Amino acid sequence: MKKLLLMACILAMASCTWVKDDTDECAYGFWLKLSYTHNILDVEAAQKYVTDAYVYVYDASGNYVKRIYATHSELKANGYRIRVEDLPEGNYQFVVWSGIGSSQYAVSGDTKAIDDFRVAIASPVSPYKEQLPPLYHGYLPAVHYDDTYALHTVSMMKNTNQLACLVVPMDEQTTMATGDYALRVVAANTTMDAYNSMASDSKLTYEPFEQGDVTLSDPDYGQLQGVQFSITTLRLMANSDSRIILEKKSTGQTVFNISFPEYIGMIGSLYTAAGRQLSVQEYLDRQDFYTIVFYLSGDLERLMQLKVNSWRLRAYNHIKL
């Protein structure tokens, strides 16, 4: 019996050495765990939305060390954990991107120092009418690497936004045609650095990747005939005056020209996460899909109301044109 117990102990100890399955009870190696809870629902959504991972490894001084790539299938197989191997013991920084492999993005400085890294729209020519693919970023400041077990969580944030904009008159008798109006977003957000900050102040004009006629059933104003515009942009910043502009094509008249962070970000004060009020920047970062209804006067000359994801702002007490 004693021999059997001894043999069982030996086998148990060996299993930790020989079997390298991340689901095994024996913890080993240095791992990064991707997490995406920085969304408006405040729920874990990495497995649903993060489809690959480019991990850039830098030493404590910001010098480039190596890059690790994980496919979607590899992420799923390892529970959205990425193993980091073959590094000398020391402190390292980790920058993680998902989606930068798309041809619509261009990466530069990726084998240089961390401060040289850039990811940008590949062809930032105004007007930009393409639908941007999802882009996610995560950054883990200097942590110690050695041969003992460690699991570090990298919080991911989505850097792309989609705007579903409906422009309608506040009058059932008035109609609008798709070709009569032009909607655009102007923002200085084409290039980001390794820390997810804007690395250029060059402005880009985003125009719809699709548009068409729409009928809106409004509980206050009835069946409204208008136009819908769908636009994608990169990360929107609270300290940068991104603008949403509507023009009447026949005359070139500007119907409205409003600040996105000022008015859409105002809605952020109505949301909470973990029992606290969101700042404008946190709201802009957590919210990635906006349904925005612009209500025009019956003569289609003025913006009267603005509704963002069911929250309504009125021109006479909220909106300055």
The answer on 186 and 48 residing in a single domain is no
Q: Are residue 30 and residue 145 in the same domain, yes or no?
A: yes
Domain-located, residue 16: no
Instruction: Find the CATH number of the domain harbouring 77.
Output: 2.60.40.2100
Number of domains making up the chain: 2
pLDDT tops 90 at residue 52: yes
Question: Token pair for residue 207?
Answer: 């125009």
Residues 41 and 93 in one domain: yes
Residue 237 inside a domain? The answer is yes
**Structure token digits, residue 133:** 């693919």
Q: Is residue 12 in a domain?
A: no
Q: Are residues 281 and 182 in the same domain?
A: yes
Closest Cα to residue 171, out of 292, 299, 294, 293? 299
Q: Which of residues 94 and 147 earns the better pLDDT score?
A: 94
In a domain, 260, yes or no: yes
- The answer to whether residues 40 and 127 belong to one domain is yes
If asked whether residues 309 and 170 sit together in one domain, one would say yes
Rounded CA gap, 31 and 174, in Å? 60
Handedness of CA 166, 170, 175, 179 (dihedral sign): negative
Angle at 77 between CA 71 and CA 80, to 5 degrees: 70
Query: Which residue in 94, 109, 161, 171 sits closest to 134, CA to CA?
Result: 161
Polymer length in residues for the chain: 321
9 in a structural domain: no
- 70 located within any domain: yes
| Domain region containing 141 | 26-158
Which residues, other chains included, contact 116 with Cβ-Cβ below 8 Å and sequence gap of 6+? 108, 109
- Provide the CATH number for the domain around residue 270: 2.60.40.2090
Tell me the pLDDT of the chain averaged across its residues. 89
Percent of the chain with pLDDT over 90: 75
Mean pLDDT of 198-214: 96
Higher-confidence residue: 313 or 309?
309
Domain match, 171 and 309 both: yes
The rounded distance, in Å, linking the Cα atoms of 198 and 183 is: 24
Tell me if 186 sits within 8 A of 241, measured CB to CB.
no
pLDDT above 70: percentage of residues in the chain: 88
pLDDT tens for residues 233-259?
999 999 998 999 999 998 999 999 999
Residue 166 sits in the same domain as residue 148: no
